Structure 1
């Protein structure tokens, strides 16, 4: 389908046809149906690809086995844990064996494992599926979009274990809907369940009860993902409005559903006890187990909802007051550039090669596939210009001068602060002298003096500076009409250049001795 195939109507004035784009609501509904169709595509693809297996596997209905696998994983996983891979394969084997009872058990296990691994999509990089669908934009143009989803995903567990959990898309495949509101779907399913039980239609009631249980699992998954995101970063979750509103609604929902399910359980038990037909009694007993499981899951969900607030506050305290990781900073000028500039290129290149080899990080190798390799080998080389493409002429705009202090004021302030190393002065005297020269100059002098209260001694030492301005607070109070605080002692310190040369000589000698010992 392309933009040219859109519906056309005649123009009222000219009689010509013009394209009419569908409305936003219609287009959104179409996209939802296309996504629902995409979620079932991996299941149909299993039956299309079973011919690639070595052997005769045409007798197996792979889509049925896939639905059973999704059902088993959904009902086996709990709030904190998931389903075990080998356990799901073992529980799938009886269903596979029922389709081909004459085949060996090894073949049944292989089919079950193949279906489960394809639902996980083991062969892909991100272990997900992608479908392409089209929608109409605001201008009526046809736009293709990617829809990425997963059916069964692997999540890490305690002790290095890996669990299986179904996604929302997989649950929607089971209940036959997509992106359905969890709360409204749960209420509708349980009302439908109550009506079917009251009318004695226990076969349909069992299907409605299973759908209600799937919605309960989906509701718990929404909360679990919010809590997992909170443990990683509290800023990634809206704990100001979205999550508190969801928790309050979920608590009201659980309380209402708990009363509703207990009433349903009473009616099912009554139908089970009064039933005379064995099939009727069996379905009623199965319904009792399903509704009991729903009550258990709602009770577990309620306990997690009550723990969500304290968990958020604990994670907020932990992440806000965590000790930052101490990392040693690298001074490129003092530690790399300054020592290498006097060296010859042969010796300096070995240092730079080692530095950039460790500083560029890991390089991801390209995936080697036969199709990519053939395409790369058969693609003709592109003709390139010797000097590359022509660079556009930049449109330069002069930056306006917005500095408060002029160059002359900076020179005057530096002249005031150019003190002898053996004659420090008080900040109050410097401010008074600066005020006599220029009314604005004391602000610049005060700024430079405060900056000198914590001088970068190590950086200046490594870069070979000869003198350094410093300021010391000895407890005296500043007496000035414009400034307050401490009356700093401002002075200049000479850095020991001879000491720097001696330290470098000792380091070089120690390095040579270490090399001789090796």
Structure 2
């Protein structure tokens, strides 16, 4: 018995009794999900060959998936603990691998292929620059559930010098080593043991592949620690420093100690195999293995340094984030603190504060670095003749904006006149509404709107802008008795502001 599946249905009904059911248990379901995720991570590489027909030109002779794997490999090996891989360096090292596939083509075309492959793996053009795959799992009741798997292969990250660098993700490293979601420590130990056995047996070609996989796992281990430290710098509470990170540091230090012993022993065996080999190909592979293992030792030394600095970094960040004083700066009122005082000054005196404000308010400007090619083009390009008055500007088509306001200017003047109360004679909102209703049936709505707005008057803004009178409304608990409005019967009045204090403050600002 089969059940028809619609593409838009997220969950299907369980099969009928007696029908064949999927493998029971969470272990079988997890294994299926891991294999499906492994396939999803390779999909962007296969998609490169299917999308190359969309490029303007003949690119069928290029194996884009191979170029994509080379790009992931180069980014992984060129990124450091603190900074990622430089885009220009990665592109420069991709060019020989692209050019060897089609030597008859031009260098410009090779550069375009390399840049297109790298930007495709970054997924330039998408919103979050990531990939998404849909896979299915089986629930405990046998139901089929579709899930989204979001991942990235190469991502752009900011560097400490302000530049943008490239980093490969865990999914990209898993694509390189042919695994997914593997425990880093166990995979590294297995790779080291496998490497040592292959070297002892003289299988240097297989040993080189195992050594490269061991180096990828070392990079992945360092990335796990780097992400934890970066998260600590942003928010120390977001990282589990009670158990998870200390366990990670202890395991990593023990792991590094074991790796040092294994790698030094492996390095001795490789050098022995290199010196005793008579086959030139054997010597070349042994020499390459020496370089790879030396790079592994260098990365382990760097990782050990970061591990020893992790504890002091956590304590320093905890002190900085816990005891940092909150910012006491207040916002700037451009009208009250800058524009209003400047309008009363002569131009000769007003230029000094405006120059100081705009010099600091526009922010920093990055100086442009001059290149020799740009300078030569600029000096050799003849000047373009321009009109004395510039190009003719088109006449704009102006359309009158319709006046869709509910209240007219006459109604606003009447409401403001009604609310122009003496400072020592406040009135109830109910009386103001009754008086407004005698003048105009719509006027009470405008009076009520202005009164409610005066319940929280902007005293500081009015003070800085030099206003001498301010309308206010206070709720004393009396209910409003009105045929059209409900709520509180506010006490509405006018307050006089300190004109002398405002004049003194302006004199001090000048």
273, 276, 285: which one aligns with 1:274 = 276
Partner of 2:165: 163
Deviation at 1:158, TM superposition (A): 2.5
Deviation per residue, 1:253-293 (Å, 9 max, x gap): 00110011000000000000001110000000000000000
Paired position in structure 2 for 1:46: 48
For 1:110 and 1:265, the matched residues in 2 are separated by: 40
Q: Is the aligned partner of 1:294 residue 2:288?
A: no
Q: Which runs of 5+ in 2 are unaligned?
A: 6-10, 332-415, 421-442, 457-471, 477-492
1:449-480: CA deviations, max 9, x gaps?
xxxxxxxxxxxxx88799xxxxxxxxxxxxxx
Conserved in 2, the CA contact under 8 Å of 1:268 and 1:287?
Answer: yes
Cα 1:178/1:18, change in 2 over 3 Å: closer
- Within a 5 Å distance, the mapping from 1:326-475 to structure 2 comes to 326=328, 342=419, 345=446
Residue of structure 2 in register with 1:205 after alignment = 207
Q: Where does residue 334 of structure 1 map in the other structure?
A: none
Whole-angstrom CA distance in 2 between matches of 1:248 and 1:233: 22
Residues 262 and 58 from structure 1, CA distance in 2 versus in 1: closer, same or farther, beyond 3 angstroms?
same
Contact 2:122 2:155 survives alignment (8 Å): yes
Residue of structure 1 aligned with 2:497, choices 503, 508, 512: 503
Matches within 5 A, 1:73-92: 73-92=75-94
Q: Secondary structure at the match of 1:99?
A: coil
2:103 maps to which of 89, 101, 104:
101
Query: Which residue in 1 is equivalent to 2:129?
Result: 127
Retained in 1: the 8 A contact 2:38–2:179? yes
Give the drift of 1:348: 7.4
Considering only aligned residues, what root-mean-square deviation do their CA atoms show, in Å? 3.3
**What's the CA shift string for 1:329-386, capped at 9, x where partnerless?**
9xxxxxxxxx9x958949978x98xx9xxxxxxxxxxxxxxxxxxxxxxxxxxxxxxx
- Counterpart in the other structure of 1:228: 230
TM-score of the superposed pair, with normalisation by structure 1: 0.64
Classify 1:193/1:325 alpha carbon distance in 2 versus 1 (closer, same or farther; 3 Å).
Answer: same
Deviation at 1:48, TM superposition (A): 0.3
Q: Can you list the C-alpha shifts for 1:433-455, whole angstroms capped at 9, x where unaligned?
A: xxxxxxxxxxxxxxxxxxxxxxx
User: For 2:134 and 2:60, how far apart are their aligned partners in 1?
Assistant: 29
Distance 1:8 1:84, change over 3 A: same
**2-structure distance, mates of 1:309, 1:463:** 58
SS of 1:159's equivalent in the other structure is coil
Q: CA deviation at 1:508?
A: 10
- Is this contact kept in 2: 1:119–1:152, CA < 8 A? yes
Shift of 1:238: 0.2
User: 134-143 or 240-249: which moved more?
Assistant: 134-143
Taking the aligned partners of 1:51 and 1:35, their CA distance within structure 2 comes to: 27
What's the counterpart of residue 472 of structure 1? none
In 2, distance between residues paired with 1:211 and 1:182?
11
Shift of 1:137: 1.6
* Distance change (3 Å), C-alpha of 1:6 and 1:177: farther
Match of 1:160, SS state, is coil
Given the alignment, which residue of 12, 28, 31 partners 1:29? 31
Measured against aligned partners, the alpha-carbon deviations of 1:14-57 in whole angstroms (never above 9, x if no partner) come to xxx47566321111100000000000000000000000000000
SS in 2 for 1:67: helix
SS at match of 2:81: coil
Structure 1: unaligned runs, 5 residues or longer: 11-16, 330-338, 356-461, 467-497, 514-518
